């Protein structure tokens, strides 16, 4: 008998998030799932930076574990 995978909830598109990067904190908005994992923590998300500097990518990819919901 095949083992059924349980669905899990991903971080919704439009959620404001933060993440640690070196000695700073990044800010952005989840734009979608980049690569599905086995749970929300190891799923890769596309995040649009709201405070990126010239030369930095506007869209980053982070795991759910690295992201914190911005309050």
Per residue of the chain (71 residues), what is the pLDDT tens digit?
556 566 899 999 999 999 998 888 899 999 999 999 999 999 999 999 988 778 888 999 999 999 999 87
Q: Compute the radius of gyration of the chain from its Cα atoms.
A: 14
| Domain range list for the chain | 16-69
| Res 5: pLDDT | 63
Provide CB contacts within 8 A for 20, sequence distance 6+.
Answer: 26, 66
What pLDDT shows up at residue 68? 95
**Strand pairing of 68-69 and 44-49?**
unpaired
Three-state DSSP at 40 gives: coil
Q: Taking the model in full, what pTM does it have?
A: 0.83
């Amino acid at each position: 008998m095949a083992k059924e995978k349980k669905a899990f909830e991903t971080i919704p598109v439009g959620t404001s998030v933060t993440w640690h990067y070196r000695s700073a904190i990044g800010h952005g908005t989840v734009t979608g799932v980049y690569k599905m994992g086995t749970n929300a923590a190891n799923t890769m998300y596309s995040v649009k930076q709201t405070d990126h500097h010239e030369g930095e990518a506007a869209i980053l990819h982070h795991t759910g574990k690295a992201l914190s919901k911005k309050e």
